[in-house]
Structure 1
Amino acid sequence: MMTRRAFSAAAAVAAACVAAPALRAQGRLEKTKLAIAVGGKAAFYYLPLTISEQLGYFKAEGLDVEISDFAGGAKSLQALMGGSADVVAGAYEHTINMQSKNQSIQSIVLMGRAPQIAVGVSTKTMPGFKTMAELRGKKVGVSAPGSSTNMVANLVLSRAGIKASEVSIVGVGTAAGALTALRSGQVDVMSNTDPVMTMLEQKGDVKIISDTRTLKGTQEVFGGPMPAACFYTHADFVKSHPNTCQALANAIVHGLKWLQTAGPSDIIKTVPESYLLGDRALYLASFNKVREAIGVDGMLPDDGAKTALRALASFEPSIKPEKIDLTRTYTNDFARRAKDKYKA
């Protein structure tokens, strides 16, 4: 009997054979070897990237990708701006942030329909927590300063009337280091993704005070749909590499399609062992919690872009909504074609 891994490998080879004529029809790839930067690859936030990589979907599209993992999204954005990465798997709101600094960055395919970020207070250093005002002066753990975990923390603080300058932001990553930082008392508050937040929550280490791991929770926090992880790159790269961008979108939408029917055991067999952080059951509990937040067809909703702009402008004085052209921050052209190709 064929093992699932052997079957996946055979399926990837078969997909590559099937994809070859389609690629010729689509046009030659302008660039086949790509450097992709990501901040916290083991987080569920980037699960579609890992799935598409592990199941050979990038190779099936004719791409040879090298993925570099950084501590957080702000660092992977730096890699793109510094020229060491061609594309970033990162939070959509960076495209808006960069436009406010006169840099044209564009999302080409969406992986996440909700940020999947929860904010919790430490039950060890803040055992009697009652009101948000108590967060003033505290140490807040985020994946990396300037990342989307930092943005959600800023939003929660600003709604409580607390300025970002009134807390200390500490970069703790999105894996074992984040668990240690909170449990050892290095931080009082944690704004992070799963599986980290579910692990802290289930062991009673945090009390959750804000949650965007579900579509309902995201609606409550942001007042609308909030696009999360996407592939983004320089607008010039999108113009000069349309076939390469199409191949990237195809690979991700193929992964999203697989995720729609995958069971928890399929996920466990596909992701690297290190992603489980030593607790398979908790990893699966986390997956079930964020499942609906994962994208389905790679399309970024227009009202989602508006929600992101509204959220950023609410605590970031440098972002003036009237000066931002949202149509330049994303395109659904590649996702639309990929959706048709894979019937996602």
Structure 2
Amino acid sequence: MQRRHFLGRSAAASSLLALPTWLHAQTLEKPKLTIAVGGKNLLYYLPLTVAETLGYFKAEGLDVQIVDFAGGSQALRAVVGGSADVVSGAFEHTVNMQAKGQRLRAFALQGRAPQIVLAVNKKTMPNFKLVADLKGKKIGVTAPGSSTNVMANFVLAKAGLKPTDVSFIGVGATNAAIAAIRQGSIDALSHLDPVITILERAGDIRVVTDTRIVAEADKVFGGPMPAACLYAPQPFIDKNPNTVQALANAIVRADKWIQAAGPGEIIKVVPEGFLLNDRAVYIDAFLKSKPALSVDGLIPEQGAATALRALASVDPEIAKAQIDLGAVWTNEFAKKANAKYPKG
């Protein structure tokens, strides 16, 4: 009798342990989805890679396909065109697209500073002194219209130059960007790590503006400038709130894991191909970029206003547009994720 009672209680306990997983899976409106990203190998998107490789998406009941593009503007086009559900991309696209009639909202932060570096090519511009010297020059960006392009435009504007005063050339997110500098086919580069650290250590570039440094980013943009985040069309968020919450949970866990991780742990998690054949350089790049990565997935209160100022300074259409800043971001999901995973 006691044995039957024990077995009965054990069976009941087992069913209770299994129940939350079953219920969780049932509550996800869209467990299988696609995330578009522009340059997944970049440290800018490290939380996305960590969430994938450590199984955080799967732990939330999600089957996520990540589709990689050459730049953030192409990832944006994928979600606007309907071939992707969510974007892992630059925050300012949510502001930019509202001015064009597209309702996009950021809901989980990956980077609290842009981590973009504007640097000049020592080979083609050995006598560089001022940003104004870039007039008439060729500047490499991951892709035209991407966050690297936006940041370069903003720095140029502060020096009195218009976007049309230079030529922007898409060089992708990896080896092509390095080759473009070394071959002298571009005079400057607006890009991210690990590409910047590789060129910096080799003495190929001279850094002009470095937003891997949070204080410098705040100074450049006049306030906190949110960087990589997960964003999606508002109708997708409205229709799939539990799925969006699961995505936010995974990213917040990844943000916190990265802050607690050492370089050796990062190397084990990042795919070999992301290291660009030099682990030491990647570790150096990670240590430089780590302070600019989000610690909790929360978007700063003044972030949207900062992004709008930056965009408006180089785009007259955005300057004239009536932008509802409260509609381009929310911390609702990230706050719940922090409550669920207070320690990651």
Tell me whether the two structures share a fold, i.e. TM-score over 0.5: yes
Q: Is the 8 A contact 1:309 1:321 kept in 2?
A: no
Q: Is the 8 A contact 1:19 1:60 kept in 2?
A: no
How far residue 102 of structure 1 moved from its aligned partner, in angstroms, is 1.1
Partner of 2:63: 64
Rounded Cα–Cα distance in structure 1 between residues aligned with 2:27 and 2:278: 44
Deviations 1:50-71 (A, max 9, x none): 0000000000000000000000
Partner of 1:333: 332
How far residue 216 of structure 1 moved from its aligned partner, in angstroms, is 1.1
Partner of 1:242: 241
Partner of 2:97: 98
Change (3 A) 1:177 1:329: same
Secondary structure of the corresponding residue to residue 48 of structure 2:
helix
Partner of 1:296: 295
Partner of 1:260: 259
Give runs of aligned pairs for residues 71-90 of structure 1, distance below 5 A.
71-90=70-89
Change (3 A) 1:324 1:20: farther
Give runs of aligned pairs for residues 1-344 of structure 1, distance below 5 A.
21=20, 24=23, 28-320=27-319, 323-344=322-343
Task: Give the residue type in structure 2 aligned to 1:170.
Answer: I
Q: Is the 8 A contact 1:119 1:153 kept in 2?
A: yes
How many residues were matched structurally? 328
Rounded Cα–Cα distance in structure 1 between residues aligned with 2:58 and 2:296: 20
How far residue 20 of structure 1 moved from its aligned partner, in angstroms, is 7.0
Structure 1 outlier segments of 4+, above 4 Å: 17-20
Partner of 1:5: none
Rounded Cα–Cα distance in structure 2 between residues aligned with 1:333 and 1:26: 21
Rounded Cα–Cα distance in structure 1 between residues aligned with 2:320 and 2:260: 39
Change (3 A) 1:288 1:119: same
Rounded Cα–Cα distance in structure 1 between residues aligned with 2:85 and 2:338: 23
> Larger radius of gyration, structure 1 or 2?
2
Task: Give the residue type in structure 1 aligned to 2:81.
Answer: G
Secondary structure of the corresponding residue to residue 162 of structure 1:
coil
How far residue 320 of structure 1 moved from its aligned partner, in angstroms, is 2.9
How far residue 260 of structure 1 moved from its aligned partner, in angstroms, is 1.5
Rounded Cα–Cα distance in structure 2 between residues aligned with 1:19 and 1:142: 49
How far residue 19 of structure 1 moved from its aligned partner, in angstroms, is 9.8
Change (3 A) 1:97 1:19: farther
TM-score by length of 1: 0.93
Q: Is the 8 A contact 1:109 1:231 kept in 2?
A: yes
How far residue 317 of structure 1 moved from its aligned partner, in angstroms, is 0.7
Deviations 1:120-139 (A, max 9, x none): 00000001111222100000
How far residue 27 of structure 1 moved from its aligned partner, in angstroms, is 6.7
* More divergent stretch after superposition (39-48 vs 130-139): 130-139
Q: Is the 8 A contact 1:26 1:243 kept in 2?
A: no
TM-score by length of 2: 0.93
Rounded Cα–Cα distance in structure 1 between residues aligned with 2:18 and 2:55: 12
* More divergent stretch after superposition (123-132 vs 48-57): 123-132
Task: Give the residue type in structure 2 aligned to 1:59.
Answer: K
Q: Is the 8 A contact 2:60 2:246 kept in 1?
A: yes
Unmatched runs of 5 consecutive residues or more in structure 1: 1-16
Unmatched runs of 5 consecutive residues or more in structure 2: 1-15
How far residue 24 of structure 1 moved from its aligned partner, in angstroms, is 2.9
Q: Is the 8 A contact 1:310 1:321 kept in 2?
A: no
Rounded Cα–Cα distance in structure 2 between residues aligned with 1:321 and 1:258: 41
Task: Give the residue type in structure 2 aligned to 1:243.
Answer: N
* More divergent stretch after superposition (321-330 vs 213-222): 321-330
Query: Once superposed, what is the RMSD of the aligned Cα atoms?
Result: 1.6
